[in-house]
């Protein structure tokens, strides 16, 4: 992989990285197409990273479909599919690996609060992928919006010199954000899950300048619980740094995490100014 990257850079070509955990869907393929707009060469990595899964989470059962993933990436003219094993990413073993700590101002809230250590695992593996592939550009989906901000902070803080680009969330016909974990949902749960994007969208549409933020968060959470979803959080935050506004203003984003049956789903969207 490193030899290939060196050859491309010596030829003056820009390289983009699209990091994934596999089980690719249209959302992932849209990231590849976005990367092609910013670089001459695109590398898609597939690695289910053990250090970002907490105790009791779905690391073992996370869907792994390498053959289908490779075929899909070939159809999108992706230049290289990089599928390392755990020993290549953590050559001294996961327990003895050098680990990074995600920036607390971004990582300690919302997903980080509900999944302690999750973002530490994310930045630790992303830093390794950046070091191996040395991209000029990296593309991440906005569905994991907090992750996108955490990775941007990583790239800036450690001086990687990588342009971290966000790609808008790809949704199904009913508006549900595409996710590999959607495959866990049975037909009834899928119907319930589609209430998530509906409630978030309606909350944004109903907010008015000067409204108290907490009231909208509580109302959205109540609607989601009434629909049969268990709510981890509904939060309206400033989009640039996830800081907490007291009243409705421009540049906000609404983020949520819910459990639908045994499946945990996240979503977010910009709120109209």
Catalytic residue status for 38: no
- Token pair 């596999």 is found at 22
How many CB atoms within 10 Å of residue 189?
18
Are the beta carbons of 268 and 143 closer than 8 angstroms? yes
Helix or strand run (H / E) with residue 16: strand 15-20
Helix (H, G, I), strand (E, B) or coil at 22: coil
Strand partners, 141: 167
Helix axes 187-206, 213-226, angle to 10 degrees: 160
- Token pair 């990089």 is found at 82
Are the beta carbons of 196 and 188 closer than 8 angstroms? no
- Given the residues 9, 25, 28, 38, select the one marked as catalytic: 28
Q: Which among 188, 176, 198, 204 has a CA at the least distance from the CA of 262? A: 188
Catalytic residues: 28
């Amino acid at each position: 992989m490193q030899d290939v990257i060196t050859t491309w850079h010596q030829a003056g070509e820009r390289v983009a990285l699209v990091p994934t955990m596999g089980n690719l869907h249209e959302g992932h393929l849209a990231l590849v197409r976005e990367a092609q707009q910013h670089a001459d060469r695109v590398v898609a990595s597939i690695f289910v990273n053990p250090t970002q899964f907490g105790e009791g989470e779905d690391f073992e059962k996370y869907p792994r479909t390498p053959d289908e993933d490779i075929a899909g990436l070939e159809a999108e003219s992706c230049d290289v599919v990089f599928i390392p094993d755990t020993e290549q990413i953590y050559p001294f073993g996961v327990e003895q690996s050098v680990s990074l700590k995600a920036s607390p101002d971004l990582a300690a809230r919302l997903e980080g609060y509900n999944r302690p250590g999750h973002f530490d695992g994310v930045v630790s593996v992303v830093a390794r992928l950046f070091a191996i592939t040395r991209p000029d550009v990296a593309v991440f989906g906005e569905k994991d919006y907090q992750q996108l901000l955490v990775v941007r902070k990583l790239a800036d803080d450690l001086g990687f010199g990588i342009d971290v680009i966000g790609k808008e969330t790809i949704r199904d016909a009913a508006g549900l954000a595409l996710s590999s974990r959607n495959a866990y949902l049975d037909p009834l749960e899928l119907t319930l899950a589609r209430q998530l994007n509906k409630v978030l969208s309606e909350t944004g549409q109903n907010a008015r300048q000067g409204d108290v933020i907490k009231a909208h968060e509580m109302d959205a959470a109540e609607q989601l619980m009434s629909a049969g979803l268990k709510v981890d959080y509904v939060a309206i935050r400033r989009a640039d740094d996830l800081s907490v506004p007291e009243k409705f203003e421009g540049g906000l984003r609404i983020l949520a995490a819910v459990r639908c049956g045994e499946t945990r789903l996240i979503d977010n969207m910009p709120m109209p100014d």
